Amino acid sequence: VCCPRRSQPCWRWMRLIASRAGSYPHEVEQADRTMTELLHIVCPHCHTTNRVAAEHLASAPDCGKCHQPLFTGHPLALDAASFERHIGRSQVPVLVDFWAPWCGPCRMMAPAFEHAAGLLEPHVRLAKVNTEDEQQLAARFNIRSIPTLALFVNGREVARQAGAFPSAQDIVGWVRSHL
């Protein structure tokens, strides 16, 4: 609406919008729809935020900066800085495994978590945080037992599970039940 007194937009306003979109008013809705379907995806290699159309997620998109694949089918190893970037900027849900190298159940679950990454990507990003190296991050999220899986959607934790899952299908089922 170009004027608070009008309940409908005027043609002058629509022409301005259309000129910016490079089309006419009847095509503006289509351009707006395309813009809203872009997702922010953080590159696992250079940690640059990329905009990717939702319908292109399955077609193996590459990073615009480093030209590496945005989805590798493997979990990412995150430190505190990359954790903040991936959780805070990515519009794809992120499943984080808080683990430690000395933990037997963590080592037992690692192959299942690796396989789950191949099954869930590109719709869910899987990552690992070594709680021995990132103790402040583990304390900030109140990690009391390991392994602990935490699912983040749009920067917020939506689900948490302490303990190891025996198979990749159990991990996938748990994630899908919380999305």
Catalogue the active-site residues. Answer: 103, 106
Residue from 132, 145, 130, 53 nearest 96 by CA: 130
Residue 162's φ and ψ, nearest 5 degrees, are -95, 140
CA distance linking residue 175 with residue 179, whole number of Å:
7
Q: What angle do CA 30, 31, 37 make, to 5 degrees?
A: 90
Would you call the peptide bond into 61 cis, given omega within 30 degrees of 0 as the criterion? no
